[in-house]
Amino acid sequence: MSNTNSNLALVLNDAIKNDQFENALIAVKGIRPVDLADVLSQIEASLAWRLLERLPNRATVFSYLEPETQVRLAREFPRASLAKLVGEMPADERTDLFKHFDQSQRDALLPALAQAEREDIRKLSAYVEGTAGALMTSDYATLVKDMSVAEALAALRVEAPDAETIYHAYVIDQQRKLLGVVSLRELILSNPEALIKDLMVRDPIHSKVTDDQEEVAKKIARYDLIALPITDEKGAMVGIVTHDDAMDVASDEATEDFHRAGGVVSTVGNLKDATIGLLYRKRVFWLVLLVFGNLFSGAGIAHFEDIIAANLVLVFFLPLLVDSGGNAGSQSATLMVRALATGEVVMRDWMSLLGRETLVALCLGGTMALAVSILGYIRGDEVVALVLALSMVAIVLIGCIIGMSLPFVLSKMGFDPASASAPLITSVCDAAGVVIYLFIASQFLTLG
C-alpha cells in the first residue's frame, strides 16, 4: 500500500507540474479518499492544491488530511476556490479546520463563505475541545412526528446529500426538542401510510453538548449505535456524533492513557511528526520530578549507611529487591488504570479489589521470595537468605497495594487515574522498598 502510494505520488507530481490534469485524474480514479489524502500529503502543497481543486470529491479527500497539511494547502488556494471547498466540507470538519487557521486566514475566508456556513462555524467552534459539542456535526436528518413513512422517505431523499447519515433520522418538534429516532431500516420495512409518531423509538439515547467525548464514545460502543444525537441544555437537538468519530476518540483516549501510564504528559499527536522540543517538554516533567522523588530512596540508604558498610552483600541485592516492588506495583496499576478507563471497575469497587490484590500479592511475593532466597544463600548465608525472603514478601505486598491504590487516589484528587504511571509507581515503590529491606536487614544482621 505505502509503496503504491509513493509511486502514485511521483506520477501525480510530474503530471501536475506539466499541467496534465486529465492524466492525473485518470490515475487517481478508484483510489479511495483516505488513500488519496495520504498520497496528496506526499506532494508539495504548491502542486497538490491544483489537483485537489479539480477532484470531484475534493471536500472528502481534504477532510482526511492531517490538520497541518490542510492549513498548508489552504494557504495555496485562491480565496474563492478555498471558500468553495470549505463550503463543501462536513460541518464538523469545517469547524476543525477553522480552529487550526490563524487569524489572518480566518479573516480572509469568512467573508467569502455563505451566511449559513459562517453561522455554523461560529456555533460549533464555541464548544470546549474534548466535549460532545466539539465532536459533533450539524449535518443530520430530521423528521416531524406527524409525517407518514412515505413522506419521511421523500424528506430523507432531499436531506441525504447534506446529512452525514440518513440511517438514523431524528424526530423533533418546532423547538427542535428531540422526541424520538427512526431507523431507515424500519422506514423501508413499514407500511408507507404508517405515521412516524407510531414508529419512532421515544426518548432515544443521547448525550449533552457539554458531556466528555470519552463518555460519548463509550455510549456509542455500549449501545452499538451508528450515530448518537446531542442535545443542548434545553433538550433541543444540536448535532450528532457518528460511529466512526467515536472509534477515533476511543483510539485517541487509549493512546493518551497509554502515554500517561508510561510517564509521558498528555499526547504528542502523530509520533512521526513530533518535534524534538515537543517530545522534550512532554517527557522532562516526570523525569526531573522523579529525580527529586528518588531522594527519598537516597535518604533511606543514608539512614542505614552503617549496616550497609558492614554488610556490603546487601548492596548486591538492592536493585533486585527494590525493582521487584516497582514491577509488581506497575502490574497492579496497569490492570487498575485500564479497568477504570473501560468502565469495568468503578471507584466503589476499591475495597473489595484490595482484599483480592493482597492475596495475589502474597502469592507472587512468596514465589519471588523463594527464588531470591536461593540466590541469597549461594552468595551469602542462611541469615541473608531469610532477610531477602522476608523483604521480598513485604516489598511486593506494599508495591501491589500502592500500585492498585494510586489510580484510585489520583482519581479522587481529580487527576486522570492513568497518571499513576510506571515511573511514578516505580519511584514510590523504590523508596518504600529501600526502607523495608534495610530495616529488616538491620534486625537480623550486625554492624560488624
Provide the 10 A C-beta neighbour count for residue 172: 19
* 362-401 binders of its own copies (CB under 8 A): 363-364, 367-368, 371-372, 375, 379, 396
DSSP 66: -
Residue 112 CB, nearest distance to its own copies (Å)?
Answer: 29
| Burial grade of 305 (CB within 10 A; 0-12, 13-18, 19 or more) | exposed
Which span sits near its own copies by CB under 8 A: 49-57, 92-100, 229-237, 319-327? 319-327
Closer residue to its own copies (CB): 223 or 444: 223
**Minimum distance of its own copies from residue 319's CB (angstroms):** 4
Residues between 296 and 315 with contacts to its own copies, criterion CB under 8 A: 297-298, 301-302, 305, 308-309, 312, 315
Residues 217-246 that bind its own copies (CB under 8 A): 220-224, 226, 243-244, 246
Going by their DSSP bridges, the two strands 168-172 and 142-143 should be labelled as parallel
- Our CB check for its own copies shows the closer of 21 and 167 to be 167
Contact 373, 366 (CB under 8 A): no
Length of the chain: 448
If one asks whether residue 427 binds its own copies (CB under 8 A), the answer comes out as yes
Helix axes 422-444, 276-293, angle to 10 degrees: 20
Residues 257 to 276 in contact with its own copies, rule: CB under 8 A? 257-259, 261-264, 268, 270-272, 276
> Which amino acid does the sequence have at 441?
A
- Is residue 284 a contact point for its own copies (CB under 8 A)? yes
By CB under 8 A, tell whether 128 contacts its own copies.
no
- Cell numbers 511521483 correspond to what residue? 10
Rounded least distance, CB 113 to its own copies, Å: 25
Which residues sit opposite 131 in a β-bridge?
212
Q: How many CB atoms neighbour CB 285 within 10 A?
A: 12
Q: Are 405 and 354 in contact (CB under 8 A)?
A: yes
Q: What residues between 32 and 51 interact with its own copies by CB under 8 A?
A: 32, 34
Regarding 198 and contact with its own copies (CB under 8 A), the answer is no
Strands (E), 40-147: 142-143
Question: Which is closer to its own copies, CB of 126 or CB of 285?
Answer: 285
In whole angstroms, the minimum distance from the beta carbon of 323 to its own copies comes to: 6
Stretch that binds its own copies, among 74-82, 118-126, 208-216, 420-428 (CB under 8 A): 420-428
**Separation CA 122–CA 62 (nearest Å):** 21
Cβ proximity to its own copies: between 207 and 330 the closer is 330
Write out the three cell numbers for 122.
461560529
By the rule CB under 8 A, 208 interacts with its own copies = no
Question: Residue 347 interacts with its own copies (CB under 8 A)?
Answer: no
CA–CA separation, 191 vs 188, rounded Å?
A: 8
